Amino acid sequence: MNQFKRLIDKLETTSYLTKEEWVMLIENRNVEISEYLFEKARKWQHKYYDNKIYTRGLIEFSNYCKNDCYYCGIRRSNRSAERYRLNKEQMMECCEIGYKLGFRTFVLQGGEDGWFSQEILEDIISTIKKKYPDCAITLSIGERSYKSYLGLFQAGADRYLLRHETAEEAHYQKLHPAELSLENRKRCLFDLKKIGYQTGTGFMVGSPGQTAASLAEDMIFISELEPHMVGIGPFVPHHETPFAKKVGGTVELTLFMIGLLRVMMPKLLLPATTALGTIDPLGREKGIQAGANVVMPNLSPTSVRKKYELYDNKICTGEESAECRTCLSQRMKNIGYELVTDRGDYCEFKEEKKCIR
């Protein structure tokens, strides 16, 4: 057996590779090694999650952002972005539509928008929680203080998504202005875990300046953090950002990283992301076949969808929530998987027998 397949075996049995081993494996991947990886990834995916695919309804409630990340279409310096905020009633309406469609997780995602004060956020969270006690509330609203995260958790938020973007210091600085730091990003993630959130992190694949060594650092950081979810998708250039002319990430490398994550941490919740579906019409299906087990369709009102444009050509901006649900359900069926109505908690919270490796 070749040495790279042996590295995949080592990853499977020990959940650990050295930085050098990660780099070797990533740099030397080919079709045969990828297939070997994906078979193992699907084996673990089925062991813990069967052929079930969990959904999260994404509510993009504000595209105002005080940050200026070089890759992001809603960065504050993008003067051509048409800014919007949903009010509480509009957000409740998204939840109502989503609940009827079978969503049991609502993800409230937005830019870092100071208009939504701690008090306003806590009120929105507790109102949703009261009306839908059987649903999980996920927040994706960026870097905040421990105290703020704690308050939001106590108001009823269950989960939090905050991608670390890259775990390599120098690379982090190439993607962000000086006022943002990897150190604070990591602090936020450890705070979230400590408070008790089911925590999701993640990174872009193929962002400008990324090397196999950066990806190795990402994998090592993820094994230290032990998140419940990891969202990864290709970097896709946005025409109104400093990275407009940069090349995007590939489907091929994104799938390989999804496979590695599934084999390293078999119980992970791994979304097949919208960015992956944007650069390949069958991207999400391929993501599932590489080991992913979550999809996150949009529940935002169609009137604002085009405005939450993190990258160019984002899919599903014209479709109603119901259309996306039906479409995804059919797409999953086509490849032998089933979209389920379930909160889709991390596997450790489920009955024991299913989780014994």
Which residues of the shown chain bind ligand 5AD in the complex (CB under 6 A)? 71-72, 163, 165, 204, 233, 235-236, 238, 275, 310-311
80 half-sphere exposure, CB direction, 13 A CA radius: 9
Quickly count: other Cβ atoms within 10 Å of residue 298's Cβ: 26
Closest to ligand FES by CB, 175 or 296: 296
CB of 356 to ligand FES, least distance (A): 34
CB of 323 to ligand FES, least distance (A): 5
Residue 72: phi and psi, rounded to 5, are: -95, 130
CB of 3 to ligand FES, least distance (A): 40
CB of 46 to ligand 5AD, least distance (A): 28
Closest to ligand 5AD by CB, 37 or 137: 137
CB of 165 to ligand 5AD, least distance (A): 6
CB of 133 to ligand 5AD, least distance (A): 27
Closest to ligand 5AD by CB, 72 or 121: 72
Q: Report which residue's Cβ sits closest to ligand 5AD.
A: 311
Choose from ligand 5AD, ligand FES, none: what does 327 bind? Cβ within 5-8 Å by kind.
Answer: ligand FES
128 half-sphere exposure, CB direction, 13 A CA radius: 33
Contacts of 101 (CB under 8 A, 6+ apart): 57, 321, 322, 325
Closest to ligand 5AD by CB, 99 or 149: 149
Structure tokens at 240: 């109104």
* Strand ranges in the chain using DSSP code E only, listed in sequence order: 52-55, 57-62, 105-110, 136-140, 159-161, 198-205, 229-234, 294-295, 338-340
Closest to ligand 5AD by CB, 233 or 259: 233
CA distance 73 to 244: 10
Closest to ligand FES by CB, 252 or 319: 319
Choose from ligand FES, ligand 5AD, none: what does 72 bind? Cβ within 5-8 Å by kind.
Answer: ligand 5AD
Which residues of the shown chain bind ligand FES in the complex (CB under 6 A)? 297, 316, 319, 323-324, 327-328
Quickly count: other Cβ atoms within 10 Å of residue 170's Cβ: 10
Choose from ligand FES, ligand 5AD, none: what does 235 bind? Cβ within 5-8 Å by kind.
Answer: ligand 5AD
CA distance 246 to 288: 27
CA angle 244, 250, 251 (to 5 degrees): 130
CB of 332 to ligand 5AD, least distance (A): 23
Residue type, 48: Y
Residue among 154, 135, 134, 204 nearest 176 (CA): 204
Residue 269: phi and psi, rounded to 5, are: -85, 120
Closest to ligand FES by CB, 11 or 251: 251
Choose from ligand FES, ligand 5AD, none: what does 297 bind? Cβ within 5-8 Å by kind.
Answer: ligand FES
Choose from ligand 5AD, ligand FES, none: what does 236 bind? Cβ within 5-8 Å by kind.
Answer: ligand 5AD
CB of 74 to ligand 5AD, least distance (A): 8
Contacts of 243 (CB under 8 A, 6+ apart): 70, 71, 208, 235, 237
- List Cα–Cα distances, 193 to 52, 93, 217, 324, in angstroms: 26, 30, 20, 31
Choose from ligand FES, ligand 5AD, none: what does 311 bind? Cβ within 5-8 Å by kind.
Answer: ligand 5AD
Closest to ligand 5AD by CB, 71 or 149: 71
Choose from ligand 5AD, ligand FES, none: what does 91 bind? Cβ within 5-8 Å by kind.
Answer: none
SS (H, E, C) 186-230: HHHHHHHHHHCCEEEEEEEECCCCCCHHHHHHHHHHHHHHCCCEE
Closest to ligand FES by CB, 165 or 285: 285
